[in-house]
Amino acid sequence: MSLADVTYLPETPAYDPEIESINEEAFGPGRFTRAAYKIREGGPHERDLSFVAVSGTTVVASVRMTRIMAGSGKALLLGPLAVRPAFKNLGIGRKLVAMALEAAVKAGATCVVLVGDEPYYGPLGFKRIPRGQISMPRPVDLDRLLAHEIEPGAVARLTGMVHHADQVGHDADRVGAIEPA
């Protein structure tokens, strides 16, 4: 396998079964109990900001983005990001994150939040969210709450409980409408 054989594409519904398989392989059945999963249960993810990596006809990695709100702040929740074991440590995950961040900027998002490891995501522009500033609907290691700030001050507007944007009465808000509070 060569990285030249990997193609990066926007996510479509046709990829859903393979994406589910990748997430099951990467995170196991425990993924349904995680805080970020609980938020994602609140509504759909943004397909136009979500991407897959394909080798031949097989999806080998994916990343998704979901609209969230906390306090007066709006953001995107990145994840899950999952790469099949045979394709790990090749830069595929980092490329997918970079694509998702670029799409977020183009969509007018002010910041992107995730639950993840700072050593991996830090070089991609993510920093810890100050402890206690936001909370998740299920337990989470607060040192793993990270944000990539696109607009200065956007992370500071995220306060309190994080919810899927559809769960706080903003069904009409689409990602293109994400703007400063």
Residues 40 and 67: their CA atoms lie apart, in Å, by: 9
Share of residues in the chain with pLDDT > 70 (%) = 92
Residues 82 and 52: their CA atoms lie apart, in Å, by: 10
Q: What is the mean predicted confidence (pLDDT) over 116-145? A: 94
CB burial class (10 A; 0-12, 13-18, 19+) of residue 8?
middle
Residue 181: what pLDDT?
33
Residues 154 and 109: their CA atoms lie apart, in Å, by: 9
Q: What is the mean predicted confidence (pLDDT) over 47-59? A: 96
Angle value at C-alpha 23, between 124 and 37, nearest 5 degrees: 80
Residues 67 and 174: their CA atoms lie apart, in Å, by: 8
Q: What is the mean predicted confidence (pLDDT) over 82-104? A: 96
Q: Give domain limits for the chain.
A: 3-174
Q: What is the mean predicted confidence (pLDDT) over 92-116? A: 97
The CATH number given to 3-174 is 3.40.630.30
Residue 4: what pLDDT?
72
Q: How confident is the model at residue 103 (pLDDT cuts 50, 70, 90)?
A: very high
Residue 168 has pLDDT above 90, yes or no: no
Name the residue among 89, 90, 79 with its Cα closest to residue 5: 90
